[in-house]
Amino acid sequence: MFGRQKPQKCRIAPGIRGLCISGMIIAAMAATSHASSLDEQIERLNADITRHTASVHALEQKLLHPVNTRVAVFLSLANRQALELDSVELFVNEQPVTAHLYTENERSSLGQGGVHQLFIGNLADGRHTLKAVINARAANNRFVRREIVHDFRKQPGTLRLQMTLNAKAPDYEPEVSFVEWK
Amino acid sequence: MNGRMSLFLRNSIGVMTAMLAGVATPVANAMDNSLASGVVRFALDTGEASSVVGLAMKLEGESADYLQARLMLASGQHDEARAGFEGVFNGASHRGEAALALAEMAQEDGDLTGAEDWYQQARRTGYGEVVQKALLGLAQLARIQGKTDAAGQYLARMEDGYWAAVGYMNLAADFARDDLDSSRALVSLRVAMAMAAKDTDTSRSRALLDQLNLRAGYLALGSDDYDKAIDFLEKVSLESYHTPQALYLHGLALSSKGNHRAAMQSWHRAKKFPLAFPGVSDAWIGMGRGYDLSGYPGQAGESWLAANAAYEGERVTLGKLSERITAEGAYKALVQDARSDDIQWFLADNRTLTQPRMAYLLRFMEEPGAQVAVRRVARLDEMVATLDASKYNLEVFIQALEGFMASAGSGGAASQTVVLEQQQSDLESRLNGLVEQAATPAQVAELRQLKQSLAGAGRRMGALNQQVVQRPERLETVLDDAGALRDATKDLRYKTLSLREQAARELDALALAFVKKQTQRMTHALDKTEQQIAHLYEYLALENLGEGAQ
């Protein structure tokens, strides 16, 4: 029942249209320059806030974690293809101290050599036990949950424990090696 | 990296951490360099740059300058970052990454020649993903300049995967715009599909393949190749942003082949989606047209009347959305309230595609200007949250320090220290006596261990005494620092809120313009259905007249 619909004729004369378009371009340029100046202001503010937050963070570190009792636990990956890390739960002397669920971005960073500072806290000198529960998907598409226990001795001064996660073919069983940095 | 540049970078970061003087984290002092580099890299990759400023300053080794330049970029110091990356490029390590960063910075500044030079350098000096990104950047620059052949040559050198697929999809868009014939564009889209299929990220690959199939289906439909169009469109998944449009085009291809019943089935499915999605309003009109072409004018009239009611309803929804944007701001009305925080997680996906507000948000975010405006407000909100957290922490510290200083003045600690020193001295004498009496090797070993522990306790006591002597001055300094930081937090918060207001105003203007455009789209659709209904009544009236005349 319907024929092809006729195209509408141009309702705005070409000259006026040219003026309108020039006006729109000028308005768009003004908007762009305004937006870019706003972006510049935001960048400057971001620099100030980064500086400021770093100072607050440093003060916080100094007040909350005295050097002699400080313990920090780090996590890194030895082989980026072997394991897709899902989450890590950390216990010190059987007390849960932290748990972290990894995002895609964080996993990617760990795969490229990033090291995650999982925990920072204070411990008295002497013997302690660290337990890490690793949840991950191995390269053979198997979901694994493993508990790793590490005994260590805290001495005066800051102790840094680096956990390096690895899984070797063919069974991709997660292994964790510990390095203590004094 | 040369020494001059290294010095420049260190000075720049030195300025950045000037306020850290005296309170720099001791972790940084002794931490192994590889561990420190890893921690800085992780913080930069995850957007937590401010927590590693002190650590980054002390980095050494081959990655130090590169990470420091990245830190500059992350903290908004573009000129310093540019100088840093140039220094890294003139060195021995991370040359490709530095060139890529410089290319991206040049492109952001609109310097296309500079960007091309840096992309070429990144391609020449980089490895793996850096080379892929550089090739994609070069292809994009060639496209911008209208050199589609050169863009194709760069893309041909890329490895199969997501980024190559995106490059070919963009190239297909250029071909579709420039060519009268769709064959070149379709070939590009087919190559893009093959590349996207090799992407290891399955959800990303699926989303891109949906978009590619939709585009290919649209092009095939435009070339009157209906079977090919149907073939492409049937590959679009039913849970995608592109589903309603694909269903509408699928129905159009079937209708063009004369299969109106099947076409109406597709349009009926498209109608289930909110009217905000592309293709849904057309599917409502299509239903009426399908009935009409199948010889059911009564049903056609009812369909168009139903479409009219739906468009009217949508105009009311848009009017309310516009009112909410004016009252509460676009960020709250469109972005925050569209988040599914009051719904069970297992229903979240379903809700995403059926909620009109989420549908309008997705459509609004298709525009690059809108993405930038929303990101600006979100970023400023994050800054306010960071400053609020800093303010809270500082207030707690100041309160605790003031309390501690009051208790330190009472002199209780000094008397405790004297008692402990006496205990230490007694224990040392007893231990020395026992060492002389030790007979078996086990006793000797045990006493040696006890001696070590006691020596450790003595060292700590000595250090504590030193700290106690210095404590009042140190606490006062820290308290002053905390007070100064709290005042700075207030100033920065005020500045951030002022910029946030400005950014929110720009976002509101964009959102209101978008809603106005959508209202016009609904008005236009309403005009179309009314026109169809008028045609139908006219036709029926003429038919009645004809029957009456016979």
- Give the CATH number of the domain where residue A144 resides: 2.60.40
The residue of chain A with its CA nearest to that of B370 is: A35
The size of the A-B interface in CB pairs under 8 A is 175
Kindly report the nearest CA distance between residue A119 and chain B, in angstroms. 12
Please determine, for residue B64, whether its predicted confidence score (pLDDT) is greater than 60: yes
User: By the 8 A CB rule, do A120 and A150 touch?
Assistant: no
Of the candidates B74, B460, B485, which has its C-beta nearest A68's C-beta?
B460
Distances (CA, A) of B367 to A181, B98, B328, B374, B511: 50, 30, 22, 11, 11
Domain range for residue A32?
Answer: 14-64
Mean predicted lDDT score pLDDT of chain B = 83
**What pLDDT score was predicted for residue B11?**
40
Judge if A26 and A103 occupy the same domain.
Answer: no
% of chain B at pLDDT higher than 90? 45
| B429 Cβ under 8 Å from any chain A Cβ | no
% of chain B at pLDDT higher than 70? 87
**Cβ-based contacts of A41 with chain B (< 8 Å):** 499
Judge if A80 and A155 occupy the same domain.
Answer: yes
Please determine, for residue B349, whether its predicted confidence score (pLDDT) is greater than 70: no
**What pLDDT score was predicted for residue B401?**
81
Scanning B368-397 for CB atoms below 8 A from A yields 372, 376, 379-380, 383, 386-387, 390, 393-394, 397
Q: Do A160 and B31 touch (CB under 8 A)?
A: yes
Scanning A6-25 for CB atoms below 8 A from B yields none
**Cβ-based contacts of B372 with chain A (< 8 Å):** 35
Residue A8 lies in a domain: no
| pLDDT tens profile B354-394 | 677 788 888 888 887 899 999 899 989 988 988 998 888 88
The residue of chain B with its CA nearest to that of A163 is: B35
Mean pLDDT of B281-306: 92
pLDDT interval class at B23 (50, 70, 90)? very low
Mean pLDDT of B131-148: 92
Q: Do A112 and B41 touch (CB under 8 A)?
A: yes
pLDDT interval class at B3 (50, 70, 90)? very low
SS3 A134: strand
Mean pLDDT of B170-185: 91
Judge if A108 and A71 occupy the same domain.
Answer: yes
Choose among B185, B186, B240: nearest CA to B208: B240
Please determine, for residue B193, whether its predicted confidence score (pLDDT) is greater than 80: yes
Q: Do A63 and B397 touch (CB under 8 A)?
A: yes
Judge if A57 and A72 occupy the same domain.
Answer: no
Residue A2 lies in a domain: no
SS3 A77: strand
The tokens for B391 are 């303010």
**What pLDDT score was predicted for residue B410?**
58
Within 10 A of B92 (CB to CB), how many other CB atoms are there?
8
Q: What is the 3-state secondary structure (H, E, C) of B494-544?
A: HHHHHHHHHHHHHHHHHHHHHHHHHHHHHHHHHHHHHHHHHHHHHHHHHHH
Judge if A48 and A113 occupy the same domain.
Answer: no
Domains of chain B by range and CATH? 160-267 (1.25.40.10), 273-550 (no CATH)
Judge if A56 and A105 occupy the same domain.
Answer: no
Judge if A83 and A30 occupy the same domain.
Answer: no
Please determine, for residue B55, whether its predicted confidence score (pLDDT) is greater than 60: yes
- ipTM value: 0.73
**What pLDDT score was predicted for residue A15?**
44
Mean pLDDT of B82-106: 93
Of the candidates A55, A74, A160, which has its C-beta nearest B19's C-beta?
A55
Please determine, for residue B312, whether its predicted confidence score (pLDDT) is greater than 70: yes
Distances (CA, A) of A149 to A69, A129, A130, A131, B412: 21, 7, 6, 4, 41
| pLDDT tens profile B397-412 | 888 888 777 766 555 5
Please determine, for residue B119, whether its predicted confidence score (pLDDT) is greater than 90: yes
Mean pLDDT of B344-358: 57
The residue of chain A with its CA nearest to that of B378 is: A42
**What pLDDT score was predicted for residue A35?**
55
Residues in chain A predicted with pLDDT less than 70, given as ranges, are 1-36, 63-67
Identify residue B42 by its one-letter amino acid code: F
> Into how many domains does chain A fold?
2
Of the candidates A35, A39, A50, which has its C-beta nearest B75's C-beta?
A50
Scanning B445-474 for CB atoms below 8 A from A yields 456, 459-460, 463
**What pLDDT score was predicted for residue B134?**
94
Q: Do B75 and A42 touch (CB under 8 A)?
A: no
Choose among B404, B424, B425: nearest CA to B468: B404
Within 10 A of B283 (CB to CB), how many other CB atoms are there?
29
| A72 Cβ under 8 Å from any chain B Cβ | yes
**What pLDDT score was predicted for residue B13?**
36
**What pLDDT score was predicted for residue B304?**
93
Q: A13 or B149: which carries more pLDDT confidence?
A: B149
